[in-house]
A and B are shown apart, each in its own frame.
Chain A
Amino acid sequence: MYKDKKSGILGIFVTVVILIILVLLTNTENNNLTAFENAASRLATPIQNGLTYLKNKVNGNNSFFTDINNLQTENEELKKKNSELEQELRKLETIKTENQSLKEYLSLTEKYADYKTLPADVINRDISNYSKTIVINVGTKNEVKEGMTVVGDKGLVGYIISATDNTAKVQTIVDTASSVSSLMSTSRDPIVCKGTLDGSSTLKAMYIPTEAQIIQGDSIETSGIGGIYPKGIHIGNVQRVVNTNNSIDRYAIIETAVNFQKLESVLVVTNH
């Protein structure tokens, strides 16, 4: 128990503040200076605004009380109009989001026209820091089975590891337990893409043939070997090549085409 209740509460408060600061600091981009500048300007702007307002008030003192009645009626009218517009806006917002998701589905289905696909939404993400599985809202009732490939708007997402009636678990390609047999699209050299712990959208390309030429920015696609993923699905692009002393264990970092942090809708390939 805390010996002194007041200091206990103070301690908790301080911890909460430190925690929030830590989260904010570690999540901001690397340009720390601009962050500080922003904070400073954020502090200063209201004061500046207040001072300007006061100055204007003092200057325009004469006309302040003259047309107060007019202003009241105008104010009421404007308020009414404002609420109408807000309602309108809300309607449009709903239509916009609907439109967006429909468009997303459409472009997805056009892209993978050869395959029979089923649209689904991501409803859960993994709660562990080390594995990167997602849960989608289709299941065995929609004829989704284990081992089916899941693709996103720009490329490969992963495959289904288990399915219940209404949901299915997908092991993403960025999971550390996942490895995808793939090809470099220009040189057609085979490589294996494995998930890594650093970064949510990077893969490590391993087992690169010693004579193979790796080109930065080259696109990587699935090779179809292994039987899980169909051939020719885009995975991502080569970000950089890491050369080691021994050319056998050199590797490349691949940036996935799909942004796994913002992944919302996917397609399940049902006829592979």
Chain B
Amino acid sequence: MKKIIINIFILITFLIIYFLQLNFFSWFKIAGAMPNLFVILVFYIGLFSGRSMGLTYGILFGIVLDLLVGENVGMTAIMLGITGIIGGVLDKNFSKDSRITILIMVVGSTIIYEVGMYVLRYAILHSSIELISFCKILLAEVVFNVFITIILYPLIQKTGHSIENEYKGSKILTRYF
């Protein structure tokens, strides 16, 4: 029962983020770049509920986004899926009770996601390469994501713990250290 509630919660969060990205962040920008909240969401799912959930939701959200606004179906799905897996892998290596580690992990996953997307866009759509402009936009996006993670940190902690308890139960190692 609780698992169903958690899944509904995740889906509603996805919808909220989608409309935020489309409307609010289309003008609330840092140096012309908007944040990527989907990366934070998928990473968070992977981190707190495991690799398979991260992968599943990453691919699901990616396909939905590709169908709604993407240029072709698959690219966002692949990269969000990878982000989910990264979240699941990092789960065992880092403490989730520290704000700094969460921030560093968000920075890392945002960079991996965007660089991956850029490479895929180049390989599939033959987009032109402009490394300096890309780095500028990426930097602004990472800064934006960091700010949002700091603001949402208490929420991430609280909901994350309840999700973790439900999905991993007694297997949580980090609690004992």
Contact = CB atoms under 8 A, between A and B. Distances in A.
7 contacts: A1-B97, A2-B154, A22-B30, A128-B117, A129-B34, A176-B130, A196-B128
Given A127-B34, A176-B130, 14 more contacts: A15-B147, A22-B143, A27-B29, A124-B22, A125-B26, A127-B65, A128-B69, A129-B34, A129-B36, A131-B70, A169-B69, A175-B127, A177-B121, A197-B134
B170 interface: no
Q: Chain B: interface secondary structure?
A: helix
Interface of A: 1-2, 8, 11-12, 15-16, 18-19, 22-23, 26-27, 124-131, 133, 135, 161, 169, 171, 175-177, 179, 194-198, 200, 204
A131 B133 contact: no
Contacts of A131: 70-71, 121
Contact of A129 (B33, B126, B153): B33
A135 B137 CA distance: 23
Contact of A135 (B31, B34, B69, B114): B69
B21 interface: yes
A60 B150 CA distance: 55
A23 B28 contact: yes
Nearest to A197: B133
B91 interface: no
B68 interface: yes
A19 B151 contact: yes
B30 A26 contact: yes
A15 B148 CA distance: 9
B71 A161 contact: yes
Interface in B114-169: 114, 117-118, 121, 125-128, 130, 133-134, 137, 140-141, 143-144, 147-148, 150-151, 153-154, 157
